[in-house]
Structure 1
Amino acid sequence: MARKSWIQRENKRQKLEQKYHSSRQFSKKKIKQSKAVPLSESKLKEIYRRLQSLPRNSSPIRLHRRCFLTGRPRANYRDFGLSGHILREMVFECLLPGATRSSW
């Protein structure tokens, strides 16, 4: 099991990312448009300042996928949302239809 504090921190990051998603996308869209149609330097600086004033944890790149059952941050499979060893245990217990066991 992962530490409860780490899981709570990850949940907080997800909420922040959802809260500031639209403002971050709006600022990025304006910056991308400014490359096609140049803006004045002061307006461009204002857009960058607004983007940088957002909380650091609201960035989607800081989110980390965790196992649905255990909270483990590594070896996660996107299709199932589970870590590797939990996935293997579920396959051995025939809880995942269509998945085959491998043993060597």
Structure 2
Amino acid sequence: MAKESMIQREAKRNKLINKHQVKRRKIKQDIKKSNDFMSILQLQKQIQKLPRDSMKCRQRNRCWITGRSRGFYRDFGLSRHMVREMSHECLLPGVKKSSW
């Protein structure tokens, strides 16, 4: 189980990403359209004023049950431990234990 503070920090980042997503996208489009160097600098200053945690690349994938960030399976949104436990209990449809 992950620390509660890490889970809360990730939730805060998700809120900031959703809040500033449209504004960030609009500024980036304006930068691509602009030809004037000074206007590009102004737009870059605007983007730098936005919070760091509002960038999508700072988001970390976490298991929705345990909050674990390592060993994350995107298909299920779970960590490897939970995928194993849930597949043994037949809670994940289409997942079989392999043997050869």
With the shorter chain as reference, the TM-score category is over 0.9
Partner amino acid, structure 1, of 2:57: I
Partner amino acid, structure 1, of 2:64: F
1:45 pairs with one of 41, 48, 66: 41
Partner of 1:81: 77
Identical counterparts, % of pairs:
49
**Is residue 67 of structure 1 aligned with residue 63 of structure 2?**
yes
Alpha-carbon deviations, 1:44-92, whole Å to 9, x = none?
1110100111111111100001001000001111111000111011111
Partner of 1:9: 9
Cα distance in structure 2, aligned partners of 1:56 and 1:96: 36
For these two proteins, the number of residue pairs brought into alignment is 100
Mean CA deviation greater in 2-11 or 86-95: 86-95
Partner amino acid, structure 2, of 1:13: R
> What TM-score do you get using the length of structure 2 for normalisation?
0.94
Partner of 2:90: 94
Cα distance in structure 2, aligned partners of 1:51 and 1:26: 10
Cα distance in structure 2, aligned partners of 1:98 and 1:58: 36
Unaligned runs of 5+ in 2: none
Cα distance in structure 2, aligned partners of 1:3 and 1:45: 40
Measured after TM superposition, the shift of residue 42 of structure 1 is: 2.2
Measured after TM superposition, the shift of residue 11 of structure 1 is: 0.3
Cα distance in structure 1, aligned partners of 2:49 and 2:43: 10
- Taking only aligned residues, the RMSD between alpha carbons, in angstroms, comes to 1.1
Measured after TM superposition, the shift of residue 103 of structure 1 is: 4.5
> What TM-score do you get using the length of structure 1 for normalisation?
0.90
